[in-house]
C-alpha cells in the first residue's frame, strides 16, 4: 500500500493535470483579487494587473471602494474573508483534478494494470483518495500563500504573527473540510469511471451547492455556505460589496463548539457514506 | 507437468442477462502453454478478466497456485488483458520502471526487457507515439517485469510484424522451456498458437473444452490433396464418390481438397485415370489447428 501511495504521489507531482489545475487556480485567485467592479469604470486606461493606491488615485478610481477593500484586507478577520474569497474555487479545482486523475487511469487502463500487479481494489481506491486529498491540501497552501503575498504586496496587509496564526488555523480547518469533498469526488469518479467520469463531474458540479446548502441548513451561516456562495456574492456586489454584506457577521461563528461539532458530524457522515459507496461500486465494476 | 497453477471451476457470467460463460472450467498445469481459442465474442477476454480478478463472475471459483484467488497472487502472474495499460506521455523505459515499482522490484530491469522485446532503440520515445506493434511489445515486456510463474496473454501478437511474431514466439518458447513459465495465451492467429501451445482450450457458446496437442493432431480434420490436369472433368468424377456439399472443395489453383471418403483414394485415383484425366499428385495431408478449430466450432461456410 505504501509503495502504491508513493507511486500515486509521484504521479501527482509529475502529472500535467495537477500542475495545469494549479495554474488555473492561481489565475482564479488573481481574478478574485483584481477588483473588477471598480476597474470597469476606467476602461481603456488601465494597462494591466494590480495597481497601488497612488496609481488608482491618478486614474480617478472610486477610492471609497478601494479604501473599503484595503481596510478589510488589513485586519486579521478580513484575512479570513479574503481567504474564503480566494478559496471559493478551490473545491471546484480539486474536483476537476481528482476526477481527471482517476479517469485518466481508467481510460489508459493503467488502473487495471495496478490491479494486475497484485493490489486489491480497496488499496487502489484509498491510494487515489489519499493522493486526491494531498492534492487538495496543496491547493489550500497555494491559496493561503497567494492571499498572504497579494495582501502583503498589493494591499499592504501586515504579515505579522497574528496573520500567520490565522492562516494556519484556516489551513487546518479547510483541510478538515476537504476530507469530505475529496471523498465525494473520489467516489463519484470511481462510480462513473470508465468513460463516465465527465458525467460524474457534471453531477458533482450540480451537487456542489447542495452539500454546503445542507450544511448551511444544519449549521446556519458557516464556512460551507461562505465558501460555496462567495463567487456569486462577488460577481453580484463586487469585492467591496461582498465584504460589507452580513456574511461578515457570520464569520465569528466559525469557531463555536456547536458549529464545530455539527460540521464534524456532517464531515464524518459524508466522508464515510461516500467512501463506502465508492469502494462498493469499484469492487463490483467490470474492468 | 503436474502441479495445477490455475484452476477455474464452474464460471458463469452474463452481460445484460445474456449468458456469456455457462459454467466454464479450465485447468492449466505447470509448464504448459495453453492456447485459449474461440470465435469473436465467445468470452475469452471475459474469462481471462475473471481469472485475473478484473471481472467478478456471477458464479464459480478461481484458484491460483493451489490457493483461492487473492490479489496478491497476481504478483506471480504477468498479464496482458484486452489492450495494454500504458502511460502515453511517458517513455517505454519509464513505463517499465513504473511497473517495476508497482511490483516492488528494486532493480531497474527496463533496459534488459526492452532489449528482449526489441525496443532498445525506442526506450526514450513517448509511448503515445508508438505503433500498435510497439505497444504490444512493450506490454509483453511489462508482463515479464515481475519474472512471473504464469503468463496470461490476451492477443499478445496483435499488430506484430513478421519479425515481431518470430521474436515473440522465441521469447515465449525460451521462457517456457528454460524458465518453466506456464503460459495461457489467446490469439486468432492459429498458426502462431499451434507453434507454441502444448494444449488447447476451445470456448464456444459459453462452454469450454480442453484438448492436448496430441488429441488435436489425432482428431484434426485430415484431407487429401488431388492435383489433376482437368479440373472440370475431375469434379464430375469426384461427385460420384463424394456426397454432400462439404465433401470436397476446389482451390484457387484448380487442385481439390477432399474431406470425405479418404479411405477410397485408390478407387478415386483409378476412376480419374480410367476416364483419361491426368493425376499430377494425390497426397494425404494432416489437418491443421485451424481445421480442428473449425471442426470444433462449426465450419459454417468454410468450404463454401
Q: Could you tell me which CATH number the domain at B223-285 has?
A: 3.30.70
Assigned C-alpha cell, A282: 469499484
Architecture of the B4-218 domain: 3-Layer(aba) Sandwich (3.40)
Give yes or no for residue B213 having a pLDDT over 60: yes
> Where in the sequence is the domain holding A150, given as residue range(s)?
2-284
Q: Say yes or no for a CB contact (<8 Å) between A117 and B75.
A: yes
Q: According to the model, what pLDDT value does residue A206 have?
A: 52
Mean pLDDT in residue range B291-296: 74
Q: According to the model, what pLDDT value does residue A265 have?
A: 79
Q: According to the model, what pLDDT value does residue A50 have?
A: 38
Q: Which residue of B has its CA nearest to A17?
A: B89
If one counts every other C-beta atom within 10 angstroms of the C-beta of residue A260, the result is 15
For chain B, the structural domain boundaries read 4-218, 223-285
If one counts every other C-beta atom within 10 angstroms of the C-beta of residue A262, the result is 16
- Averaged pLDDT score across all residues of chain A: 67
Burial A90-100 (b: 16+ CB within 10 A, else e): bbbbbbbbbbb
Q: Which of A16, A113, A287 sits opposite B55 (nearest CB)?
A: A287
> Virtual CA dihedral for A18, A23, A29, A33, nearest 10 degrees?
170
CB-CB contact of B62 with B4 (8 Å)? no
| Strand B182-186 to B150-154 pairing | parallel
Q: Which residues of A touch B149 (CB under 8 A)?
A: none
Query: ∠ CA B202-B30-A114 to the nearest 5 degrees?
Result: 80
Q: How confident is the model at residue A175 (pLDDT cuts 50, 70, 90)?
A: confident
Signed CA dihedral, B173, B175, B177, B182: sign only: negative
Signed CA dihedral, B2, B3, B5, B6: sign only: positive
Q: What are phi and psi of B60, to 5 degrees?
A: 110, 170
Assigned C-alpha cell, B168: 515473440
> If you ran DSSP here, which 8-state letter would residue B260 be given?
S
Give yes or no for residue A130 having a pLDDT over 90: yes
How many Cβ contacts (< 8 angstroms) between chains A and B? 69
- To the nearest whole angstrom, how far is the Cα of A246 from the nearest Cα of chain B? 49
Q: Which residues of B touch A6 (CB under 8 A)?
A: 101
Report how far residue A81's alpha carbon sits from residue A72's, in angstroms, rounded to the nearest whole number: 8
Q: According to the model, what pLDDT value does residue B89 have?
A: 86
Residue from B65, B85, B97 to probe the interface with A (highest A Cβ count within 10 Å):
B85
3-state secondary structure A193-229: CCCCHHHHHHHHHHHHHHHHHHHHHHHCCCHHHHHHH
Q: Which of A4, A7, A108 sits opposite B85 (nearest CB)?
A: A108
Q: What is the pLDDT of residues B39-70, one digit of tens each?
A: 888 888 899 999 999 888 999 999 999 889 98
Burial of B304 (0-12, 13-18, 19+ CB in 10 A): exposed
Name the domain count of chain A. 1
Chain A 116-145, residues with CB within 8 Å of chain B CB atoms: 116-121
3-state secondary structure B33-86: EEEEECCCCCCHHHHHHHHCCCCCCCEEEEEECCEECCHHHHHHEEEECCCCCC
Task: Please state the ipTM of this predicted complex.
Answer: 0.76
Name the more confident of B37 and A63: B37
Q: How many residues does chain B have?
A: 304
Give yes or no for residue B216 having a pLDDT over 80: no
Q: What is the pLDDT of residues A187-218, one digit of tens each?
A: 888 887 765 655 566 566 555 554 544 444 44
Amino acid at each position: 500500500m505504501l509503495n502504491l501511495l508513493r507511486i500515486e504521489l509521484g504521479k501527482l507531482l509529475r502529472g500535467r493535470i495537477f500542475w495545469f489545475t494549479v495554474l488555473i487556480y492561481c489565475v482564479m485567485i488573481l481574478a478574485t483579487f483584481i477588483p473588477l467592479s471598480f476597474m470597469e469604470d476606467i476602461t481603456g486606461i488601465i494597462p494591466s494587473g494590480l495597481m497601488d493606491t497612488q496609481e488608482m488615485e491618478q486614474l480617478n478610481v472610486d477610492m471609497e471602494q478601494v479604501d473599503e477593500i484595503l481596510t478589510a484586507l488589513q485586519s486579521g478577520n478580513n484575512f479570513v474573508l479574503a481567504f474564503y474569497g480566494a478559496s471559493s474555487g478551490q473545491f471546484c479545482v480539486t474536483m476537476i483534478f481528482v476526477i481527471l486523475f482517476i479517469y485518466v487511469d481508467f481510460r489508459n487502463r493503467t488502473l487495471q494494470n495496478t490491479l494486475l500487479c497484485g493490489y486489491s481494489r480497496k488499496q487502489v481506491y484509498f491510494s487515489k483518495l489519499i493522493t486526491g486529498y494531498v492534492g487538495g491540501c496543496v491547493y489550500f497552501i497555494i491559496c493561503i500563500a497567494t492571499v498572504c503575498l497579494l495582501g502583503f504586496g498589493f494591499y499592504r496587509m501586515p504579515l505579522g504573527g497574528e496573520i500567520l496564526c490565522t492562516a494556519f488555523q484556516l489551513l487546518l480547518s479547510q483541510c478538515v473540510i476537504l476530507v469530505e469533498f475529496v471523498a465525494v469526488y473520489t467516489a463519484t469518479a470511481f462510480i462513473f469511471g470508465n468513460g463516465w467520469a465527465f458525467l460524474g463531474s457534471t453531477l458533482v458540479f450540480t451537487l456542489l451547492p447542495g452539500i454546503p446548502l445542507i450544511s448551511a441548513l444544519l449549521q446556519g451561516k458557516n464556512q460551507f455556505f461562505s465558501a460555496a456562495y462567495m463567487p456569486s456574492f462577488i460577481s453580484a456586489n463586487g469585492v467591496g460589496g461582498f465584504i460589507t454584506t452580513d456574511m461578515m457577521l457570520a464569520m465569528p461563528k466559525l469557531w463555536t463548539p456547536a458549529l464545530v461539532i455539527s460540521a464534524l458530524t456532517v464531515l464524518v457522515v459524508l466522508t464515510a457514506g461516500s467512501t463506502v459507496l465508492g469502494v462498493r461500486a469499484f469492487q463490483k465494476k467490470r474492468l | 507437468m503436474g502441479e495445477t497453477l490455475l484452476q477455474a471451476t464452474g464460471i458463469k457470467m452474463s452481460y445484460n442477462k445474456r449468458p456469456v460463460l455457462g459454467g466454464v472450467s479450465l485447468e492449466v498445469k505447470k509448464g504448459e502453454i495453453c492456447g485459449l481459442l474461440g470465435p469473436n465474442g465467445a468470452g475469452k477476454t471475459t474469462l481471462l478478466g475473471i481469472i485475473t480478478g478484473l471481472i467478478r463472475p456471477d458464479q464459480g471459483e478461481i484458484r491460483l497456485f493451489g490457493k483461492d484467488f487473492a490479489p496478491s497472487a497476481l504478483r506471480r502472474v504477468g498479464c496482458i488483458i484486452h489492450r495494454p495499460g500504458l502511460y502515453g506521455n511517458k517513455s517505454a523505459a519509464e513505463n517499465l520502471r513504473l511497473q517495476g515499482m508497482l511490483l516492488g522490484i528494486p532493480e531497474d530491469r527496463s533496459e534488459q526487457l526492452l532489449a528482449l522485446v526489441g525496443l532498445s532503440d525506442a526506450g526514450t520515445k513517448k509511448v503515445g507515439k508508438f505503433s500498435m506493434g510497439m505497444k504490444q511489445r512493450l506490454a509483453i515486456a511489462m508482463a515479464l517485469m515481475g519474472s512471473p510463474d504464469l503468463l496470461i496473454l490476451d492477443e499478445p501478437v496483435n499488430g506484430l510484424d513478421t519479425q515481431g511474431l518470430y521474436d515473440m514466439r522465441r521469447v515465449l518458447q525460451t521462457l517456457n522451456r528454460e524458465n518453466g513459465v506456464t503460459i495461457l495465451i489467446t490469439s486468432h492467429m492459429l498458426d502462431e498458437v499451434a507453434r507454441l501451445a502444448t494444449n488447447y482450450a476451445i470456448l464456444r457458446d459459453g462452454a469450454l473444452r480442453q484438448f492436448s496437442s496430441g488429441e488435436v493432431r489425432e482428431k484434426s480434420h485430415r484431407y487429401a490433396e488431388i492435383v489433376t490436369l482437368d479440373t472440370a472433368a475431375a469434379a464430375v468424377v469426384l461427385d460420384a464418390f463424394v456426397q454432400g456439399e462439404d465433401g470436397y472443395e476446389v482451390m484457387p489453383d484448380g487442385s481439390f481438397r477432399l474431406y470425405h471418403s479418404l479411405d477410397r483414394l485408390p478407387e478415386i485415383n483409378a476412376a480419374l485415370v480410367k476416364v483419361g484425366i491426368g493425376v499430377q499428385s494425390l497426397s494425404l495431408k494432416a489437418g491443421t489447428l485451424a481445421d480442428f478449430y473449425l471442426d470444433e466450432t462449426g465450419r459454417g461456410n468454410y468450404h463454401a
